[in-house]
Amino acid sequence: MAKHFAVAGGGWAGFAAAVELARAGHQVSVFEAARTLGGRARRVSFDGRELDNGQHIMLGAYAATLRLMRTVGVDLRAAVLTLPLQMRYPPASGGMDFVAPRLPAPLHVGIALLRARGLARADKMALARFSTTARWMGWTLNNDCSVSELLERFDQTPRMVALMWRPLCLAALNTPPERASAQVFLAVLRDSLGANRAASDMLVPRTDLSALFPDAAAAWLKAQGHAVHLGAKVNALRPDDAAGAWHVEASGLPASRFDGVVLAASPSASAALLATLPDTAALAAQLGGFAPEPITTCYLQYAAGTRLAIPFYALLDEPASARWGQFVFDRGQLDAKQDGLFAVVISASGEAANLPQDALAAAIAAQLAADLGRPELANPSWFKVITEKRATYACTPGLLRPANKTALPGLVLAGDYTAGDYPATLEMAVRSGLQAARDLARP
Ligand SMILES: Cc1cc2nc3c(=O)[nH]c(=O)nc-3n(C[C@H](O)[C@H](O)[C@H](O)COP(=O)(O)OP(=O)(O)OC[C@H]3O[C@@H](n4cnc5c(N)ncnc54)[C@H](O)[C@@H]3O)c2cc1C
């Protein structure tokens, strides 16, 4: 029998749950506190420019996300730029050039290694050893440890750590290798270095992040008669007398009764809502205990036509020398409206985010000018620094993440923080939303 469910939170997890529930024949109402959909992956506007709250990248292995995007009518060929797995530093910056050719796995990595520039034989042997041993171990560990420990155990060279493992760990887990979970890192590597070629592809959004999925999902839902409320912060969830039913109190809307609720807010916002409910003190404390990890994106505007040779480069970061940038993206190669706009990403950016924004932007511009050998890049005409203080949770060894189901009938959790083998990513959020929908519809 069709039921009416509420989804509290219009991020990627919330919309994954909403679309899945609608596809199962249920009625859905989404409540989003903000005026823009997408949560931690959304469009933002500054000075008349449409940007994202942070540069994102996806993998071909994001199967659930890509499937759902297609379901709600997103044309993937137009929406993302698909690139082969790569870690390319600007020539002459002292880095390396590693690009996986379009060949079946594991040949793509083998050939990439043979062709890679900027690596000594010992570095290449170390990467080959890593990939063979990890594959042999099934990409799993009996006991989780830090990524640094894993790299030491696998006898990785300092150059391989600096040029490949550290940047990959920061980009994927938003946690430095010394504090990051080796088990979660291996799961990401399984689906990139260790996976078939298409799964290891890197997908860079061409549209803004709200348009990439949440806006399309909202339009798809509304076209079928479902409700999406913006600016509707859920202030309270109250259990109904009938087991499994809930009353939702949201800003600007009359309280209404639902047959169940997907709580798809961030861990801290979910903890605040759970704290008022019976029998959820331990769960609320667990969610409140996730340590936030920031990401900073610095947008730099240059003259129209200013281009990188490729859509994105890895950068050699060295905070001690005020070299903060870890990756630079040429937005103009992705979206013609962003001609001359570069986005520089700093993951686990606690230290950088404490700097005055103009000092950080100036340091990043100087880093680009030096690494790319182009003095004009030191002088952008405009910049914007965006720090998401709670971009993700620190993905530490042995971190306990809650199941989607809660002890309360009719209330399930969805978000990038629930149990799963991926770190806080779009794919984890989407998988969690799908699971939450299944748990709610078939308790
Ligand atoms: C700068 C940055 C860069 C990132 N880079 C990548 C990347 O390259 N690749 C990748 O895969 N992932 C990346 N991520 C992570 C990814 O964005 C997140 O894992 C994902 O967006 C989390 O989605 P979610 O739905 O679980 O949570 P959220 O996005 O936090 O969604 C929760 C939603 O609930 C709403 N909400 C909160 N409280 C309430 C309430 N009381 N009532 C109603 N609504 C409420 C919020 O406004 C929000 O819209 C990045 C994140 C950031 C911030």
Residue 193 burial (CB count, 10 A): 24
Measured between alpha carbons, how far is 315 from 73 in angstroms, rounded to an integer? Answer: 35
Whether 214 is in the pocket of ligand 1, judged by its Cβ within 6 Å, is no
Residue 131 CA, ligand 1 centroid: distance in Å: 31
Residue 319 CA, ligand 1 centroid: distance in Å: 27
The pLDDT assigned to 190 comes to 92
424: nearest Cα among 379, 377, 390, 398: 390
The pLDDT assigned to 105 comes to 76
Whether 229 is in the pocket of ligand 1, judged by its Cβ within 6 Å, is no
pLDDT above 80 for 321: yes
The mean-pLDDT minimum among 44-58, 92-106, 296-310 falls in 92-106
Whether 66 is in the pocket of ligand 1, judged by its Cβ within 6 Å, is no
The pLDDT assigned to 194 comes to 84
The answer for 411, left when phi > 0, alpha when psi is -120 to 50, beta otherwise, is beta
Whether 173 is in the pocket of ligand 1, judged by its Cβ within 6 Å, is no
User: How far, in Å, are 254, 282, 433 from residue 232 at the CA level?
Assistant: 11, 27, 20
Report the nearest-CA residue for atom 7 of ligand 1: 56
Report the nearest-CA residue for atom 19 of ligand 1: 425
Report the nearest-CA residue for atom 15 of ligand 1: 425
Report the nearest-CA residue for atom 3 of ligand 1: 54
Measured between alpha carbons, how far is 346 from 367 in angstroms, rounded to an integer? Answer: 13
387: nearest Cα among 281, 267, 296, 279: 296
Mean pLDDT of 399-425: 97
Percent of the chain with pLDDT over 70: 100
The pLDDT assigned to 109 comes to 84
Going by pLDDT thresholds of 50, 70 and 90, the confidence category of residue 104 is: confident
pLDDT above 70 for 443: no
More confident residue, 110 or 300: 300
Report the nearest-CA residue for atom 6 of ligand 1: 56
Residue 18 CA, ligand 1 centroid: distance in Å: 16
CA-269 nearest atom, ligand 1? 38
Choose which residue among 40, 290, 430 to substitute to test ligand 1 binding: the one with the highest number of ligand atoms within 8 A of its C-beta: 40
Give the model confidence (pLDDT) of 380-398 as tens digits. Answer: 999 999 999 999 999 999 9
Choose which residue among 212, 233, 238, 266 to substitute to test ligand 1 binding: the one with the highest number of ligand atoms within 8 A of its C-beta: 266
CA-54 nearest atom, ligand 1? 1
Contact 4, 27 (CB under 8 A): yes
Residue 431 CA, ligand 1 centroid: distance in Å: 13
CA-427 nearest atom, ligand 1? 11
Give the model confidence (pLDDT) of 12-23 as tens digits. Answer: 999 999 999 999
Residue 371 CA, ligand 1 centroid: distance in Å: 32
Radius of gyration, CA atoms only, the chain: 22
Residue 295 burial (CB count, 10 A): 26
Measured between alpha carbons, how far is 14 from 37 in angstroms, rounded to an integer? Answer: 10
**DSSP assigned state of 191:** T
Report the nearest-CA residue for atom 5 of ligand 1: 56
| Residue tagged 């947008």 (tokens) | 299
Percent of the chain with pLDDT over 90: 91
| Residue tagged 């880095």 (tokens) | 95
Instruction: State the average pLDDT for the chain.
Output: 95
Residue 4 CA, ligand 1 centroid: distance in Å: 24
As a whole number of angstroms, the longest Cα–Cα distance in the chain is 69
Give the model confidence (pLDDT) of 334-355 as tens digits. Answer: 999 999 999 999 999 999 999 9
In three-state secondary structure terms, 292 is strand
Whether 424 is in the pocket of ligand 1, judged by its Cβ within 6 Å, is yes
**Would you say the CATH fold of 292-393 matches that of 4-40+61-74+207-290+399-441?**
no
The pLDDT assigned to 417 comes to 98
Mean pLDDT of 61-89: 97
Q: Length of the chain in residues, anyone? A: 443
Question: Domain 4-40+61-74+207-290+399-441 belongs to what topology?
Answer: FAD/NAD(P)-binding domain (3.50.50)
The mean-pLDDT minimum among 93-102, 293-302, 368-377 falls in 93-102
CA-270 nearest atom, ligand 1? 38
Residue 37 CA, ligand 1 centroid: distance in Å: 10
More confident residue, 108 or 248: 248
For the chain, the structural domain boundaries read 4-40+61-74+207-290+399-441, 85-200, 292-393
Whether 210 is in the pocket of ligand 1, judged by its Cβ within 6 Å, is no
Residue 257 CA, ligand 1 centroid: distance in Å: 26
Question: Domain 292-393 belongs to what topology?
Answer: Polyamine Oxidase; Chain A, domain 2 (3.90.660)
Mean pLDDT of 186-198: 88
